[in-house]
Structure 1
């Protein structure tokens, strides 16, 4: 009788991932002067992508944070990142009845010391291939705005200028 060995192939297969689809990656975030503000770690979860934010050097207060449609962060205004990531053509805002964009996230709270440590969930995106992937050929980006997102105003929640940006591109695998 054959005993014990049947589990080995199952365990080996469980650890495999599809080529080119990272489960976790780090995104370096920079201000308009090119100074590093820290890292946002993206991790694939069963419910979307989790963003583990660890930044410093930001103005204190509440700030909009969005995923944008292009993986290009050219200072000083970061307009190169394009619009909010919206593959399903929804309205902007977590509070909008016809929303939200896939790239809409809850506001980021920055402490008086300029640090932001938070875990946010992006339930409508993935690091896997497909329509809602954060890793199309041109990538996507994380953008932090000067003001908070009101959750309704089109096209970006009346959140003001872009004050920080990080490129989400495949060659940043962890």
Structure 2
């Protein structure tokens, strides 16, 4: 009888230890699975900050920040020194702000050869046709813009904003005059360089 009780005790201990080890292994597998999900869900964020410099005898300065996350690029531009009212802002072909009047940046960025227009218009628009921003009575302005039609450093010539320039104009973009929107002089310029 003593042998049978001892044997039953050893069998119970072995079974309990085995179950405990199985639970531990399963818990470790669950932890690893959770870590893999976190890693695969983590987004890559790209960011470029550029300084806007005064052009055409203006005092318009500021900065612009581009951030790409989950396939969408957001742009935030903060400016000062503008005349109160609306002013056009566009992306231009080349990140070259060396000329006094900003013309070294070329024309509007238009990789798809569309007519100039308002962003999202069915009649067409340039990939650089951002629109207008409004300066307050002190000459300060902020604009935020987001799109999935741009990328940062992806190498796609129809989407990549690296190597382009941000231009702020003296006047308003009328969204119809070709090819510029009749926005007037270029009063500030920033090169978008990675």
**1:90 pairs with 111, 114, 129, which one?**
114
Count how many residue pairs are aligned between Structure 1 and Structure 2.
163
- CA drift at 1:64: 0.7
TM-score (norm 1): 0.83
Unaligned residue ranges in structure 2 (runs of 5+): 1-25
Q: 1:50 to 1:83 in 2, by over 3 A?
A: same
Measure, in 2, the Cα distance between the counterparts of 1:124 and 1:57: 30
For 1:134, the equivalent position in structure 2 comes to 161
- CA drift at 1:122: 4.4
Measure, in 2, the Cα distance between the counterparts of 1:55 and 1:142: 12
For 1:116, the equivalent position in structure 2 comes to 141
Contact residue 165 and residue 190 of structure 2 kept, 8 A: yes
CA-to-aligned-CA distance 1:104-139 (integer Å, 9 cap, x gap) = 01201111101002212345322141131102xxx0
Q: Secondary structure at the match of 1:101?
A: coil
Task: Select the structure that is richer in helix.
Answer: 2
CA-to-aligned-CA distance 1:146-169 (integer Å, 9 cap, x gap) = 100000110100111111000101
- CA drift at 1:16: 6.1
- CA drift at 1:27: 1.4
For 2:188, the equivalent position in structure 1 comes to 164
| Aligned residues: CA RMSD | 2.3
For 1:7, the equivalent position in structure 2 comes to 34
Contact residue 63 and residue 149 of structure 1 kept, 8 A: yes
For 1:51, the equivalent position in structure 2 comes to 75
Moved more, 123-132 or 144-153: 123-132
Larger relative contact order (C-alpha < 8 A, sep ≥ 6)?
1
Measure, in 2, the Cα distance between the counterparts of 1:149 and 1:34: 18
Q: Which has the larger radius of gyration?
A: 2
For 2:66, the equivalent position in structure 1 comes to 42
Q: 1:114 to 1:36 in 2, by over 3 A?
A: closer
Measure, in 2, the Cα distance between the counterparts of 1:57 and 1:39: 12
